[in-house]
A = this chain, B = another copy of it.
Amino acid sequence: MEAETTTYTFGPHKIDRSLVFYSTPLSFAMVNLRPVLPGHVLVCSRREVKRFVDLSADETCDLWLTAKEVCGRLERYHEASSLTFTIQDGPQAGQRVPHVHIHILPRKSGDFENNDEIYEAINEKEKELKEKLDLDKERKDRTSEEMAREADEYRALFL
Chain A positions near chain B (C-beta within 8 angstroms)? 52-53, 55, 57, 60-61, 63-65, 67-68, 71-72, 80-95, 105, 107-109, 111, 114-116, 118-120, 122-123
Q: How far is the CA of A102 from the CA of B92 in the complex (A)?
A: 19
Asked if B72 contacts A83 (CB within 8 A), the reply is: no
Besides A83-B89, A116-B119, 17 more A-B contacts (Cβ < 8 Å) are A52-B67, A52-B85, A53-B71, A71-B89, A81-B90, A82-B91, A84-B88, A84-B94, A85-B85, A86-B87, A92-B108, A92-B111, A92-B115, A93-B105, A93-B115, A116-B123, A119-B120
Residues of B within 8 A of A52 (CB): 67-68, 71, 83, 85
Q: From A73, which residue of chain B is reached at the shortest CB distance? A: B53
Sampled A-B contacts (16; CB under 8 Å): A52-B67, A53-B71, A55-B68, A60-B61, A60-B68, A82-B91, A84-B86, A84-B87, A84-B88, A84-B89, A85-B86, A86-B87, A92-B109, A94-B116, A116-B119, A118-B119
- Residue ID in chain B nearest A69 by CB atoms: B53
